[in-house]
């Protein structure tokens, strides 16, 4: 053997020895215990609403557990690379989701948090804490944990036979308490299975008593009018199968991976399908809800509220309403031509490009609005569409939170009535939360500024994160609430995820029947 060949052989031997020593998953050709741990974690991916076959979990498990230490080194090297790639993809999906949200929602504007799955995996293996690191890669949110429990629960409901037979049609357009219905036995079974009715409840002769109260509980959990009357909306929600609810929970878990719900020590979160706003404070690792308020959001058919996160920077007391040009052209100018008196009654005025204010209505001024030479605005006061306060977090869509002059709409179960901005039922409480670190702003001073009738802008000493989110499943206490897919975002996300899986491992199964 030549000297050069001997050196090459020695170097190759050292390389192979180093490779065997540095292997993440194998030792002397056999899988390490941590490799079996990784396979178990991939197989458990559905517990987080993920698809284990996106990572080739079954095939990997078969190949690795049946591998022989006597197999050629390239076999172990190939399995090493496959398992590493699968774990990195799994961690990335668990942490940040499987699809780019901006490809699902054109108006989605949330910057993803940086995450390096390769470095994260290496650190977890070096510290010998792979299972803990996988748990920590998921969103650290109480809602996420609650949804994981709900997912397991509804997968158990899938095994029941209660939903195999469809609910009979209603006798008329709606079923009232005290009326007969052939579907009463099936209704009782479903409500017991869902936890809205005690298991030992006797079947009543008519739709009455405890059954009506259970329907009210069901309606409250599904964003319906809580009246105990089974109309079309309630009947349709009762007909939704556990398989469809499982998918809804999976979609919500996916969306939570995108949404920065703990991006500051204080923040405001709007959940559009729930028509609710909540203000949170994070202190010493504990998250406390400081405010919960009903809201009104953009209409589903025309002016849906976009999803994004931004920093609140200002509060405007007694604000002017600068009418967006689209609303002025399509709605306000035609109305003012039909009813000129509406101009004075509602406190409108024209403003020129130079800031000049024109208080009289004329055809020429209306034409100026249509041509862009003038704009319409509404003066502060009791008629003002923004009410007495406006919360500003500058964004490309000119969306903001504000008071309203039509508070009666908050009593509706479904509250999508706006042009996109968000009306808040508890504006004083929200202002107190926003300004709580500024002792000069007492509740009385806030109320005085709101009723003064003179516009004033207050710059916040510290910006406050605002997140416009979209979750159609919420867990409150031990109860799971399912909400209407108001803007069809769940449907779009479902399609995107199925396409994603199809690219990885062939066509996905058909959507669950609803």
Per the structure block, which two tokens stand in for 92? 């990335």
| Nearest residue to 102 (alpha-carbon basis) of 307, 377, 353 | 307
Q: What is the mean pLDDT of the chain?
A: 90
Q: What pLDDT, on the 0 to 100 scale, is given for residue 171?
A: 86
Tens of pLDDT, residue by residue over 130-180, are: 999 999 999 988 899 999 999 999 999 999 999 988 999 998 899 999 999
Q: How far is CA 120 from CA 126, 321, 344, in A?
A: 10, 49, 63
- CATH number for 261-319+386-483 (one of 3.90.470.20, 3.40.50.720, 1.20.950.20, 2.40.440.10): it is 2.40.440.10
What pLDDT score was predicted for residue 472?
97
Q: What is the pLDDT of residue 29?
A: 81
Tell which residue, 188, 221, 187, 181, has the closest CA to residue 202. Answer: 188
Position 20 scores a pLDDT of 41
Q: How far apart are CA 417 and CA 401, in angstroms?
A: 14
The DSSP element (H or E) to which 184 belongs, if any, is helix 184-194
**Lowest pLDDT segment from 158-172, 175-189, 256-270, 455-469:** 256-270
Summarize pLDDT for 361-373 with one digit per residue, the tens: 999 999 999 999 9
pLDDT of residue 71: 76
pLDDT computed for residue 19 by the predictor? 42
pLDDT tens, residue by residue, 69-101: 877 888 888 999 999 999 999 999 999 999 988
Whether the per-residue pLDDT at 254 is higher than 70: the answer is yes
- The CATH number of 156-248+489-505 is 1.10.101.10
Span 408-452, pLDDT tens digits: 999 999 999 999 999 999 999 999 999 999 999 999 999 999 999
Return the higher-pLDDT residue of 312 and 381: 312
Tokens standing for residue 113 = 């948090």
Report residue 406 as tokens: 């039509």
- More confident call, 107 vs 298: 298
For residues 311 and 466, is the Cβ–Cβ distance under 8 A?
yes
What's the pLDDT score for residue 507? Answer: 53
Give the H/E segment covering residue 218.
helix 210-221
Extract the tokens encoding 260. 């920065």
CB 369 within 8 A of CB 382: no
Confidence of residue 3 (pLDDT cuts 50, 70, 90): very low
pLDDT of 262 reads 72
pLDDT at 110: 65
- Rounded CA-CA distance 327/333 in Å is 9
Confidence (pLDDT) at 514: 43
- Please determine, for residue 508, whether its predicted confidence score (pLDDT) is greater than 70: no
């Amino acid at each position: 053997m030549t000297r050069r060949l001997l050196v090459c052989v020695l170097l190759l031997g050292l390389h192979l020895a180093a490779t065997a020593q540095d292997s993440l998953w194998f030792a002397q050709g056999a899988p390490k215990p941590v490799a079996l741990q990784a396979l178990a974690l991939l197989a458990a991916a559905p517990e987080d609403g993920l698809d284990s076959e996106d990572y080739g979990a079954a095939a990997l498990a078969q190949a690795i557990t049946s591998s022989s230490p006597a197999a050629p080194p390239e076999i172990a090297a190939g399995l090493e690379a496959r398992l590493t790639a699968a774990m990195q993809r799994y961690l990335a999906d668990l942490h940040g989701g499987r699809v780019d949200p901006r490809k699902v929602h054109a108006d989605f504007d949330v910057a993803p948090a940086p995450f390096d799955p390769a470095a994260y995996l290496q650190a977890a293996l070096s510290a010998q804490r792979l299972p803990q690191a996988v748990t920590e890669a998921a969103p650290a949110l109480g809602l996420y944990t609650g949804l994981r429990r709900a997912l397991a629960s509804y997968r158990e409901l899938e095994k029941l036979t209660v939903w195999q037979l469809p609910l009979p049609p209603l006798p008329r357009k709606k079923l009232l308490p005290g009326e007969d219905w052939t579907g009463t036995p099936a209704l009782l079974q479903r409500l017991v299975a869902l936890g809205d009715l005690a298991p030992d409840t006797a079947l009543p002769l008519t739709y009455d008593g405890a059954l009506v109260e259970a329907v009210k509980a069901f309606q409250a959990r599904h964003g319906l009018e809580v009246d105990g009357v089974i109309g079309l909306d309630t009947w349709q929600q009762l007909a939704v199968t556990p398989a469809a609810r499982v998918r809804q929970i999976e979609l919500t878990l996916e969306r939570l991976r995108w949404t920065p719900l703990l991006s500051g020590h204080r923040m405001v979160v709007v959940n559009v399908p729930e028509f609710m706003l909540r203000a949170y404070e994070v202190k010493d690792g504990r998250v406390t809800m400081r405010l919960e308020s009903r809201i009104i959001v953009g209409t589903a058919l025309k002016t849906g509220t976009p999803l994004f996160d931004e920093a609140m920077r200002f509060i405007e007391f007694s604000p002017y309403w600068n009418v967006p040009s689209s609303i002025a052209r399509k709605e306000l100018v035609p109305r003012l031509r039909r009813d000129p008196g509406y101009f004075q009654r509602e406190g409108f005025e024209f403003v020129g490009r130079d800031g000049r204010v024109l208080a009289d209505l004329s055809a020429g001024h209306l034409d100026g609005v249509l041509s862009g030479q003038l704009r319409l605005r509404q003066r502060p006061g009791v008629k003002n569409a923004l009410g007495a306060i406006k919360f500003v977090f500058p964004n490309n869509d000119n969306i903001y939170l504000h008071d309203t002059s039509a508070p009666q709409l908050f009593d509706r179960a479904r509250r999508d009535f706006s042009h996109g901005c968000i009306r808040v039922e508890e504006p004083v409480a929200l202002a107190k939360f926003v300004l709580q670190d500024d002792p000069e702003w007492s509740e009385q001073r806030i109320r005085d500024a709101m009723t003064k009738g003179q516009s004033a802008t207050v710059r916040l000493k510290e910006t406050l994160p605002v997140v416009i989110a979209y979750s159609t499943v919420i867990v409150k206490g031990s109860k799971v609430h399912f909400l209407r897919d108001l803007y069809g975002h769940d449907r779009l996300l479902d399609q995107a995820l199925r396409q994603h899986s199809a690219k990885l491992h062939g066509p996905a199964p058909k959507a669950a029947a609803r």
